[in-house]
Chain A
Amino acid sequence: MESTQWTRESKMTQTFTAERVLEYPGGYTRSVGPVIGRFLTGLRDARILAVRLADGRVLVPPAEYDPATSAPVAAEGDHWVEVGPRGTVQAFTWVAEPRPGKHPLTKPFAFALIRPQGADTAIVHVVDCGSPDAITIGSRVAPRWRAERVGYITDIEAWIPLGDGEEPAPPPLRVPAEDEQPVTGITVPIALTYVNTAGASTARYLVGLGEGKIIGGRAPSSTDVYAGSRGTDPKTGEPTSIEVEVRDTGCITTFCVVNVPGLSELAPEIPYVSAQILLDGADNTFFGLIRGCPVEDVHMGMRVKAKWADELKPDHTAIEWFEPTGEPDAPYEHYKDNL
């Protein structure tokens, strides 16, 4: 198992960036507990509910605890009061470019802290007032309720300015269904877009994959060669500034047979083998798929070789899997320190 290595001083060849969206499919499923639930149930009924705290202050939106003392706030009792619908703007800012899919309004609007009448605290919400000149601290506003309300903070579609002496429109009437249950949970979609960077060492590695080579690196102070390093020798933190090509053959140090479906879009049909592989010329192991033989034939020490894709691209699709070479097994001594 002689390995042919070549080294050269590393140099940056290419930068790699990738855009993607981080999103839990379907949105986060939040159980809300009895206090938040009662407030949200109130919104569904077009009412703004609040709680009177021990010191007499009226807290809206209500919490399960006094925000000053953390004393518990009960979900039932006559400390629950209704506030609003009229509110006063305590602070505001203007959003000239709403974010589609996130902000509740598609046209420019104001974010504001709004203190509903009868409350001692304020709600963060949006004001639909057309222009930043139409809102000021002290502006009187009232909720514009959605017709279809589900027990969510956006059941108030927006707050709208009230003219001098104007009173809020009465809340929309709604007859609750007989079997209607209080709100106990909400689903909150969160999608964030990222453009991630591979980094210099990974870029070198990926460029190598695109050329059918496995590029490792080592730090000047060490003889240890890392295949697929994050840019340092993890033992010292020293940059793996010296490029070293390692072979695309090696041995399985250990593995498991995966019978769990759907772990990744990239995962093959079950059962399949995920193995740690010690490549010839490298001093660390990394994970790879094993194919090309029945899963029950896979074993520790088995010699394997990369199966390169027909069309090489500088990414992890370049090596499709590893398959047995048919060579005699590597002796345990060869890989026992890398388990």
Chain B
Amino acid sequence: MAGNRVAVVGVGQTAHRTARKDVSMAGLVREAASEALDDAGMTYADIDAVVIGKAPDMFEGVAMPELYLADALGAVGKPMMRVHTAGSVGGSTSIVAAKLVSAGIHERVLTVAYEKQSESNATWGLSVPMPFAAPLVAGAGGFFAPLIRAYMYRSGAPRHIGHLVAVKDRRAALRNPKAHLHLPDIDLKTVEESFLLWDPLRYLDVCPSSDGAMAMVIGSEKVADSAPNPPAWIHGMAMRSEPTMFARRDQVNPQAGKDCAKDVYAQAGIVDPRRDFDCAEVYVPFSWYEPMWLENLGFCADGEGWKLTEEGATAPDGDIPWNPSGGVLSSNPIGASGMVRFGEAAQQVRGRAGDYQVELKTGKALGHAYGGGSQFFSMWVVGRDKP
């Protein structure tokens, strides 16, 4: 990885819920930020800079909310930035923060991502009709469900594979008290019987809409070496983007995702991701995106992802657990969801994932986020050991 050594030295997140009616927007982000600072043994005064991220401002009706949140997050007299890269924003925000440290500009950076979707409604916020644009009359699920159908056709995956992921991630979430959905009785039958929203996607194949925030303190090597709790060292980080639409675009298995994975693996010395990672926290908002991203991220050959899911390889007790926290399918504060992936990966290699801690062998984990029309990707590799 380019630049100086960098580590995650503090992680905090809110409980994710349909509506966090007990807090203001500032209260929501401070809940996550204060927990991350406590974890790092710091206060707001110790922080050099703040980087925040979230999805479209229209969700909350606050334009450029870094301005309103500056004093809530300890940024007064300091640099503050606001990143927005669609659904991948939580990941890219983490990376922008980490680069401020790897470039040697700052020692301690607070990064926060959030969404308070209950202020409006995600379906409205994501599909504000723009004049003259071809109307998308099928919602976000209507954009991704056809790609899932194409994946099923290409790979020959049986119809129940998505449902397996829906069950697996919700069961994993039972061990995560901060997860939004806790569905103790979920099984294949309940998913199969849930309402068919966007054939082939059923209700329980789809992520919820959550209020929530995630925060991390990113530190230099010096800071990490003296941190009160174990750091998660950043071994690699990468971002890639491609256009939404172009001639002969592979929308199912996008090149930007493959390039991004290749880049981050090269930085981190990952040769075989299935073997070299202890777990992965991957942005799976629709159940089928687990097998699709297994292939895109090189955990298996093209067309084989669904087999890993089916054989249980990605379950918490499998050889390569995916989303042991419960994933996006269990908590989805959109603008924070990517940072939750990055932070959960860090918690695993720090050994601080509580009841959903995986066994550490290689001591490395992958954090992943994507957004737009499967076109914006951000990833990092974190490790227990110094790179």
Contact = CB atoms under 8 A, between A and B. Distances in A.
Query: Are A and B direct contacts in the complex by CB distance below 8 Å?
Result: yes
Interface of A: 16, 18, 20, 22, 24-25, 28-33, 35-36, 63-72, 184-185, 188, 190, 196, 198-199, 202, 206, 224-226, 228, 233-235, 253-260, 263-264, 266-268, 271, 274-276, 283-287, 289, 300, 315-316, 337-339
B153 to A, nearest CB: 6
B199 A228 contact: no
Contacts of B250: 337, 339
Instruction: Pick the most buried of A33, A70, A235, A276: most chain B CB atoms within 10 A of its CB.
Output: A70
Interface stretch (B85-93, B141-149, B259-267): B141-149
Report which residue of A31, A71, A198, A255 has the largest number of chain B beta carbons within 10 angstroms of its beta carbon. A31
A287 B244 contact: no
B210 to A, nearest CB: 14
Nearest to B196: A259
B137 A266 contact: yes
B169 to A, nearest CB: 22
Contacts of B21: 31, 184-185
A256 B199 contact: yes
A42 B44 CA distance: 30
A65 B247 CA distance: 52
B122 to A, nearest CB: 11
A156 to B, nearest CB: 20
Contacts of B386: none
A67 B71 contact: yes
Interface of B: 19-27, 30, 34, 44-45, 58, 60-61, 71-74, 76, 118-121, 123-125, 127-132, 134-139, 141-142, 145-150, 153-154, 195-201, 243-252
Contact of A64 (B30, B128, B134): B30
11 contacts: A29-B119, A69-B45, A72-B34, A224-B246, A233-B246, A254-B147, A256-B148, A260-B197, A274-B138, A284-B249, A338-B248
A286 B132 contact: no
Q: Which of B76, B121, B142 has the most CB of A within 10 A?
A: B142
Given A185-B21, A274-B138, A256 B244 contact: no
Given A24-B120, A70-B73, A234-B246, A32 B24 contact: yes
Given A266-B137, A284-B245, A338-B248, A259 B198 contact: yes
B16 to A, nearest CB: 15
A64 B245 contact: no
Given A18-B132, A188-B61, A287-B134, A24 B121 contact: yes
Nearest to B123: A263
A67 B137 CA distance: 44
A339 B121 CA distance: 30
Contacts of B24: 30-33, 35-36, 64
Contacts of A33: 22-24, 26-27
B134 A316 contact: yes
Contact of A254 (B73, B76, B150, B195): B150
Q: Which 7 A-B pairs have the closest CB atoms?
A: A234-B243, A256-B145, A283-B247, A33-B24, A18-B131, A257-B199, A274-B138
Contacts of B132: 16, 18, 196, 198-199, 202, 206, 315-316
B149 A300 contact: yes
A16 B292 CA distance: 40
A202 to B, nearest CB: 5
B28 to A, nearest CB: 8
A18 B71 CA distance: 39
Contacts of B27: 33, 64
B65 to A, nearest CB: 13
B72 A339 contact: no
A63 B128 contact: no
B119 A30 contact: yes
A63 B24 CA distance: 10
Nearest to B198: A256
A233 B128 CA distance: 25
A70 B71 contact: yes
Nearest to A263: B139
Contacts of B20: 31
A268 B22 CA distance: 38
A153 to B, nearest CB: 14
B257 to A, nearest CB: 15
Residue of A28, A233, A268 with highest tally of chain B CB at under 10 A: A28
Contacts of B128: 22
A120 B101 CA distance: 37
Given A33-B27, A65-B71, A337-B248, A235 B134 contact: no
B138 A63 contact: no
A259 B197 contact: yes
A286 to B, nearest CB: 6
A199 B139 CA distance: 24
Contact of A255 (B44, B141, B146, B249): B146
Nearest to B144: A256
Contacts of B127: 263-264
Q: Which of B128, B130, B146, B246 has the most CB of A within 10 A?
A: B146
